[in-house]
Amino acid sequence: MKDISTIKELFEDSLFGSVVTDIKSKKSVYANRFIEKQAKKLIDKVDFSVGETELFDESGNKWYRTFTEEIIMGERKFLHTLYFDITDLKTASKEMSDRDKELEIVSTTDKLTKLFNRHKLIETISSELAKSARYRRKFSLIMLDVDDLSKVNSDFGQKAGDMLIVEFSKFLNQNTREVDILGRWEGGQMMIICPETDINGAINMAEKLRIQIEEAEFSNVEKITASFGVTGHLNGDDEDSIVKRVQNGLEGAKNNGKNRVEFELI
C-alpha cells in the first residue's frame, strides 16, 4: 500500500513524469512538476490498465514509455503511472531502421540498371523453390541477352554499351508483368522470374518480348535483338540446377542463330 503523499515526496522533483488517477472517477488527483511543465496533456491519456505501454504526445512531439501500477488506500483505488521520455531512443531507432533499409537496397540493387542484382535474383529463386516445395506452386525462369552487345561497345564505346543496357532494362521493366521479378544477371544478360507460371506460359511471354525488342527503337543503334532461354521448375530442383537449365537454353538460342527462344526441360 502506498500513500499519495509518499508518492509526492518521491516524484515531485523527478526527471520523469508521475501521475496518480482515481480509478472510479477517472480523474487525476496528482501530477508532478515534470508533467505540469513538459507534458500536461498526458494527464488525460492515462491507460486504465496495469502494465507497460508507449504513447506519443503530439503537443510536445515526444514519445513516452509508461509503467502503471494499482494503489489501494482503504476502499479507494488509484493508478500510479510513471512516464519516461524515450524520444531520443525512438529517433535513434528510426535512424538505424532507415540505414538498414538503405543498406538492403544497396546490397540487392544493380548499380547500373537499378534492377535487382544477381544476389537478389538467387535469393528470390530460393524463395520460389521453397514455395513450390511447400505449396506445389509452379514458376519459370527466363534469361535473355542482348545480341552482339560487344559490337556496340567496339563501334560506339563502353559508355554507349552501358547506356543501351540501361535503356534495355527500362524497356523490359515496362513490358513485364507486375508479378514478375526482373533483374540483371551480368553484362547484357537479364533474368525474369515468373511466379505461378508454367513453362508454356513463360515461352509465350519470352516470344512476345523477343518480337517487341526486335521492333523497338533504342538510342545509338538502329535495331537490337535478344536471345532467350526458358525453363520451368522441376521436382528436386535447387538454385544451381534450375539456373543451369535456363543458361543452357540461352546458350542454345545463341548457338542456333540468335534472336530466338530456346527452352530446356531436363
* 98 within some domain: no
Q: Please tell me whether residues 127 and 235 are part of one structural domain.
A: yes
Residue count (the chain): 266
The whole-model pTM stands at: 0.67
pLDDT tens-digit readout, 24-47: 888 888 888 877 666 666 666 656
Whether pLDDT at 125 is above 50: yes
In a domain, 102, yes or no: no
Q: Which of 58-67, 219-228, 241-250 has the highest mean pLDDT?
A: 241-250
Q: Residue 97 — very low, low, confident or very high, per pLDDT cuts 50/70/90?
A: confident
Higher pLDDT, 25 or 162: 162
What is the pLDDT, as a whole number, of residue 53?
84
Asked if 61 and 193 sit in the same domain, the reply is no
The verdict on residue 231 lying in a domain is yes
Question: pLDDT confidence of 181, banded at 50, 70, 90?
Answer: very high
At 1, the pLDDT band (50, 70, 90 cuts) reads very low
Same domain for 238 and 192:
yes
Q: How many domains does the chain have?
A: 2
Mark whether 46 and 121 lie in a shared domain: no
CATH of the domain at 33: 3.30.450.20
Give the sign of the dihedral formed by CA 249, CA 254, CA 255, CA 260: positive
Same domain, 113 and 79: no
Residue 161: domain span: 109-263
CATH number (domain holding residue 194):
3.30.70.270
Same domain membership, residue 188 and residue 149:
yes
Q: Looking at the structure, tell me whether residues 84 and 185 fall in a common domain.
A: no
Query: pLDDT value at position 3?
Result: 66
Q: Is residue 97 part of a domain?
A: no
Within a domain: 16: yes
Question: What is the number of alpha carbons within 13 Å of residue 156 lying toward its C-beta?
Answer: 15
Q: Is residue 58 situated within a structural domain? A: yes
In this structure, the answer to whether residues 127 and 38 fall within a common structural domain is no
